[in-house]
């Protein structure tokens, strides 16, 4: 670590001198103190990724400084266990709280805990052809839309149990059903399972997220839908993104775009994820190209069906623009990011708490990085209102970054008002 600090400091000083900037001038532009930057240049202080990206942006270094800083070791997504090796069992306490735990299949069978998806529920007795005609499928499709809406307003601990039960029920109904009905039931079960994977990631359980996603891929393939396998790459890329693994994120997103038969919608979502990976790597040109490609693809996307994978919009806002703002912050263009977020989040209904928490945290980060501490403090208070409701592990990662930035400004009145609440939110366990 000390050797890395020395290398970073020497390179920072070289780039700053070549750019004709004094230490005070650079400090003003990156919103760090001159004394702190002096300690960075002399190797006394350990540089952080946030500072490295800001200096890269100001000095036009193309990500050179960020690459010097030790990133968390790129971790491959946890390998999905074989279907006959492990199941996930729902445990429920007397107070109504519930959680998912992995269990070896043999042990689950021995204890009577396993059925189709690791639940203790029995399969429905009949899965007749009438399922497609008696309103059952229509009802489950309607429920899926309501579950996704609920996921915008509350904790994964509320949503996951019902998604799990619906997935199990649909898969059980598919057993023995005639082929056309079976495929419809499994296709719908696959959508529920994929959403369970997203909620599991929001709950902070990457292993469960990949397990549910893998089950969605298997059911989708049985229903003749191979695109879920491609979309699973995008889900894995989201996990690597939150691990700050730029290379892994880009690779998975590019694999998804290259998969044969992939719809413009899924290709567009993959291009957005690729752009986020390039932004992590401080590669502005490739990030911009990926964002432009995503915009063109999503313009072609069919968004009429409520059962399509993922979302090409975010509760009224332009997802492409929100992701662009996300990227601009990682690229050190925080004021530009804040301006885009302001425009887009104004279009999002107040009831979309998960969207406001996720992108609102990024907006507060952008303002803090741009040196507007008053606005950052005010926005943090709003973000915490939404974050308390949705209880998201991924949002907390940005809140931790925000706490580090605001922690340097604790004497500022806007920070004094919100900092205790921010710290309390980070200490609260994910349910």
Provide the residue-wise pLDDT of the chain in tens; the chain has 431 residues. Answer: 556 667 888 889 889 888 889 998 898 888 888 888 988 888 888 888 888 888 888 888 888 888 888 555 444 444 333 444 555 555 544 344 445 555 455 544 444 444 434 444 444 544 555 555 567 888 898 899 888 888 888 989 889 888 988 888 888 888 878 888 888 889 899 999 999 999 999 988 888 888 888 888 888 888 888 888 888 899 899 999 998 899 999 999 999 999 888 889 899 999 999 999 999 999 999 999 999 999 999 988 765 555 566 654 567 789 999 999 999 999 999 999 999 999 999 999 988 899 999 999 999 999 999 999 999 999 999 999 999 989 899 999 999 999 999 998 888 999 998 999 998 888 866 55
pLDDT at position 35 is: 87
CB 383 within 8 A of CB 364: yes
Query: What residue spans in the chain does CATH classification 1.25.40.10 cover?
Result: 316-427
CATH number of this structure's domain 2-68:
1.10.260.40
Domain spanning 86-300, CATH architecture: Alpha Horseshoe (1.25)
- Tokens for 175, please give them: 């057993």
pLDDT at position 47 is: 85
**How many CA within 13 A on the CB side of residue 312?**
21
CATH number of this structure's domain 316-427:
1.25.40.10
């Amino acid at each position: 670590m000390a050797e890395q600090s020395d290398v970073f400091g020497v390179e920072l000083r070289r780039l700053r001198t070549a750019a004709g900037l004094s230490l005070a001038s650079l400090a003003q532009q990156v919103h760090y103190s001159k004394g702190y930057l002096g300690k960075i240049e002399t190797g006394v202080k350990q540089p952080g990724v946030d500072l490295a990206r800001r200096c890269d942006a100001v000095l036009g270094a193309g990500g050179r400084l960020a690459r010097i800083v030790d990133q968390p070791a790129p971790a491959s997504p946890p390998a999905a266990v074989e279907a006959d090796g492990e199941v996930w069992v729902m445990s429920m306490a007397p107070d109504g709280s519930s959680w998912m735990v992995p269990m070896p299949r043999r042990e689950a069978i021995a204890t009577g805990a396993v059925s189709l998806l690791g639940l203790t529920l029995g399969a429905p007795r009949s899965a007749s052809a009438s399922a497609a005609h008696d309103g059952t499928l229509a009802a489950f499709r309607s429920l899926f839309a309501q579950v996704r809406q609920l996921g915008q307003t509350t904790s994964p601990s509320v949503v996951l149990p019902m998604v799990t039960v619906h997935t199990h029920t649909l898969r059980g109904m598919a057993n023995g059903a005639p082929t056309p009905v079976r495929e419809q039931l499994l296709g719908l079960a696959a959508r529920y399972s994929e959403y369970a994977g997203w909620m599991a990631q929001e709950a902070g359980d990457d292993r469960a997220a990949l397990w549910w996603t893998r089950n969605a891929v298997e059911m989708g393939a049985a229903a003749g839908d191979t695109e879920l396998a491609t979309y699973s790459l995008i889900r894995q890329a989201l996990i690597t993104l939150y691990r700050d693994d730029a290379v892994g994120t880009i690779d998975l997103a590019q694999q998804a775009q290259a998969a044969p038969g992939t719809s413009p919608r899924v290709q567009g979502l993959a291009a957005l994820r690729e752009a986020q990976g390039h932004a992590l790597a401080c590669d502005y040109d490739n990030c911009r190209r990926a964002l432009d490609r995503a915009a063109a693809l999503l313009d072609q996307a069919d968004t009429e069906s409520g059962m399509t994978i993922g979302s090409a919009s975010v509760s009224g806002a332009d997802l492409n623009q929100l992701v662009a703002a996300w990227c601009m912050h990682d690229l050190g263009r925080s004021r530009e990011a804040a301006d885009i977020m302001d425009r887009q989040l104004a279009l999002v209904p107040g009831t979309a708490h998960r969207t406001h928490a996720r992108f609102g945290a990024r907006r507060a980060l952008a303002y803090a990085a741009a040196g507007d501490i008053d606005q950052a403090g005010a926005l943090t208070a709003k973000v915490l209102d939404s974050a308390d409701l949705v209880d998201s592990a991924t949002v907390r990662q940005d809140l931790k970054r925000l706490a580090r930035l605001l922690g340097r400004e604790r004497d500022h009145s806007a920070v004094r008002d919100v900092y205790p609440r921010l710290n309390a939110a980070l200490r609260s366990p994910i349910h």
